Amino acid sequence: MAEFPIACNLQGDYGFKVIVVDEDDTIADVIQKTSDQLVGVLVAPFPPDTVLKARIHGAEEPLDDDVTLKGANILQMAALDIYAEG
């Protein structure tokens, strides 16, 4: 396990925040850790049934929730957009 900083922009926030995760975390883990740190502090809570997805900044397609950062070949300080699906 290694600390792995990622720049995340959570929908509703004004900019990217550095979130420290683990290189073996899945995209779902990154979404959860980012939400845990920002929702209710900098971002208003999402409706209970909201599904959040992540994509590399500038990409069209979301990342698979089950892929790890290492498995997706995501580099440290990569920019991810986290957004409500649909």
Q: What is the DSSP string of 19-83?
A: EEEETT-BHHHHHHHHHHHHBTTTBPPPPTT--EEEEETT-SSPPPTT-BTTTTTPPTT-EEEEE
What is the predicted pLDDT for the residue at 2?
Answer: 82
pLDDT at site 14: 93
Domain spans in the chain, listed from the N-terminal domain onward: 48-72
Please report which confidence band the pLDDT of residue 10 belongs to, taking 50, 70 and 90 as the band edges.
very high
Residues 12-59 pLDDT 10s: 999 999 999 999 999 999 999 999 999 999 999 999 999 999 999 999
pLDDT for 1 equals: 66
Q: What is the pLDDT of residue 81?
A: 98
